[in-house]
Amino acid sequence: MRHFEQYEFIGHISPQQVLAGNQATVSQVIDTIGFSGGRLIVTVMQGNMVDSVGKCELTESDSSDSNFLDFMNASGKDADGSTRSLPDHTSDNLDIVFDVPLTPDRKRFMKVDWRAANTGGRFGSFVAASAILIGRQLGVEVTTANTTKRANSRLYSSKGRA
Q: Give per-residue pLDDT as tens, 63-105.
A: 887 888 888 888 877 777 777 788 888 888 888 899 998 887 7
β-pairing, 39-46 with 94-101? antiparallel
121: domain CATH number is 2.60.120
Q: Give per-residue pLDDT as tens, 128-154.
A: 899 998 876 555 454 444 434 556 677
What's the whole-number mean pLDDT along residues 21-30? Answer: 76
- Asked if 102 contacts 35 with a C-beta cutoff of 8 angstroms, the reply is yes
Q: Which residues contact 85 (CB under 8 A, 6 or more apart)?
A: 75
Tell me the residue range of the domain where 118 lies: 7-139+152-159
Residue 146 lies in a domain: no
Q: Full-prediction pTM beyond 0.75? A: yes
| Cα distance between residue 59 and residue 78, in whole Å | 17
